[in-house]
């Protein structure tokens, strides 16, 4: 392609992108986390201990990366009624496909699955998301998406002031009874499966009243005017035969990795967890703080909806577990302080 041809293509892409707009949100369906799930397997699992800690929540830290993906698989395989997954990044690598396969099996059991992804962070294949969403029990939505799906990079550059506002939430909720939240996205580098890099992150597995708060936060993002279904963005449903082909391809990949050292290790840990059915929990009260999804529609200088640190009050941007013998704080996965927060942090570190 000559320089002139490349220039023409770029100009045409820019024109087409400028003409694109997000679809209308009128008559969009509104869904919420399922209630009355106490009778599910996950609901019954901690019922005896819960009676000894009325009004408290249970916490189990997941510092080990392999344990972190195993815990997600266990919740996904144990869910009976609903799965809600919210992530900034979801790669199509080994751990990403393992979790996708587990979620797909859950839908086959009749579990309702809602997947909310950040459009730029995940940067997933639209056709793959459309195919997954074609399952009657699956809905895939994207947060603050780029309008033009064919020239996404160009569109993102032209819409930078809008699409620069992203969703960094990372949470998985099963049956509205157990949840995992923290610093890990979905990808090999987060779970110790990458031969190149492993990120040092921390998650926490929770049960009890705090799970309802996490689900409420998910519902706010899911039902916000900045979230769009993949069908809305693509303008058409998936090919009726695409899901079957996707299953075959996914199963072939997972079988090819069946005897890899990482999968063998993860499978051994998974077997141990399922056989023992026991996890050590600490009990206490918690406060969940999160951004208002509607803040992305306002000017960055508008403080409404922001988790702003007040240097006078030393307000923590944390998930806090309050125990009888003290207080333990779990840092949020991604926080960028504003002017007051930076000033307060500077004085704190001085």
Model confidence over 190-232: pLDDT tens digits? 999 999 998 989 999 999 999 999 999 999 999 999 999 999 9
Residue 28, pLDDT above cutoff 50: yes
Residue 13, pLDDT above cutoff 60: no
Confidence of residue 287 (pLDDT cuts 50, 70, 90): confident
DSSP lists the bridge partners of residue 286 as: 321
List phi, psi (to 5°) of 61: -75, 145
Tens digit of pLDDT for each residue in 30-85?
Answer: 999 999 999 999 999 888 888 899 999 999 999 999 999 999 999 999 999 999 99
What pLDDT sits at residue 337?
Answer: 57
Tens digit of pLDDT for each residue in 128-147?
Answer: 999 999 999 999 999 999 88
DSSP lists the bridge partners of residue 255 as: none
More confident residue, 2 or 285: 285
What pLDDT sits at residue 160?
Answer: 60
What pLDDT sits at residue 20?
Answer: 65
Confidence of residue 118 (pLDDT cuts 50, 70, 90): very high
More confident residue, 148 or 266: 266
What pLDDT sits at residue 156?
Answer: 66
Residue 347, pLDDT above cutoff 60: no
Residue 105, pLDDT above cutoff 90: yes
What pLDDT sits at residue 38?
Answer: 93
Domain boundaries, the chain: 53-276, 287-344
Longest dimension (CA), the chain: 74
**pLDDT-above-90 percentage for the chain:** 57
What pLDDT sits at residue 312?
Answer: 43
More confident residue, 288 or 328: 288
What pLDDT sits at residue 234?
Answer: 93
Tens digit of pLDDT for each residue in 312-331?
Answer: 443 333 454 444 445 555 55
CATH class entry, domain 53-276: alpha beta
Residue partners of 319: CB distance under 8 A and separation at least 6? 181, 204, 286, 287, 288, 289, 329, 330, 331, 332
What pLDDT sits at residue 161?
Answer: 61
Mean pLDDT of the chain: 83
What pLDDT sits at residue 297?
Answer: 79
Strand order, beta sheet including 318-323: 227-229, 138-143, 112-118, 82-87, 171-174, 178-182, 203-207, 57-62, 282-287, 318-323, 326-331
Side-chain-side CA neighbours of residue 139 (13 Å): 18
What pLDDT sits at residue 148?
Answer: 82
**pLDDT-above-70 percentage for the chain:** 78
What pLDDT sits at residue 294?
Answer: 87
What pLDDT sits at residue 338?
Answer: 59
CA distance 82 to 218: 13
Confidence of residue 16 (pLDDT cuts 50, 70, 90): very low
What pLDDT sits at residue 345?
Answer: 43
The CA-based angle 263-196-126, given to 5 degrees, is 75
């Amino acid at each position: 392609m000559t320089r002139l041809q490349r220039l023409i293509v770029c100009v045409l892409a820019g024109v087409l992108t400028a003409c694109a707009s997000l679809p209308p949100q009128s008559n969009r369906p509104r869904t919420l986390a399922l209630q009355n799930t106490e009778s599910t397997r996950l609901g019954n699992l901690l019922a005896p201990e819960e009676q000894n800690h009325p009004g408290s929540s249970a916490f189990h830290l997941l510092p080990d990366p392999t344990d972190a993906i195993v815990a997600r698989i266990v919740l996904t395989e144990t869910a009976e009624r609903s799965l809600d997954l919210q992530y900034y990044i979801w790669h199509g690598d080994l751990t990403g496909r393992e979790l996708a396969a587990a979620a797909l099996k859950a839908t086959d059991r009749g579990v309702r699955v809602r997947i909310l992804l950040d459009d730029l962070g995940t940067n997933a294949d639209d056709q793959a998301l459309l195919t997954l969403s074609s399952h009657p029990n699956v809905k895939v939505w994207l947060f603050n998406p780029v309008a033009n799906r064919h020239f996404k990079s160009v569109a993102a550059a032209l819409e930078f002031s809008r699409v620069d506002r992203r969703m960094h939430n990372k949470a998985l909720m099963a049956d509205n009874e157990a949840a995992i939240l923290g610093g890990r996205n979905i990808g090999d580098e987060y779970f110790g499966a990458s031969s190149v890099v492993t990120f040092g992150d921390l998650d926490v597995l929770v049960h009890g009243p705090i799970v309802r708060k996490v689900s409420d936060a998910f519902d706010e993002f899911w039902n916000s005017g900045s979230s769009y279904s993949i069908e809305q963005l693509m303008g058409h449903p998936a090919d009726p035969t695409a899901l079957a082909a996707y299953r075959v391809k996914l199963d072939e990949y997972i079988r090819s990795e069946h005897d890899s050292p990482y999968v063998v290790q993860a499978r051994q840990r998974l077997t141990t967890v399922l056989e023992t059915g026991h996890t050590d929990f600490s009990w206490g009260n918690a406060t969940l703080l999160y951004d208002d999804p509607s803040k992305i529609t306002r000017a960055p200088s508008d403080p409404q909806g922001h988790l702003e640190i007040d240097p006078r009050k030393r307000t923590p941007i944390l998930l806090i577990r309050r125990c009888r013998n003290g207080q333990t704080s779990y840092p949020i996965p991604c926080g960028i302080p504003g002017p007051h927060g930076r000033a307060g942090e500077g004085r704190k570190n001085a």
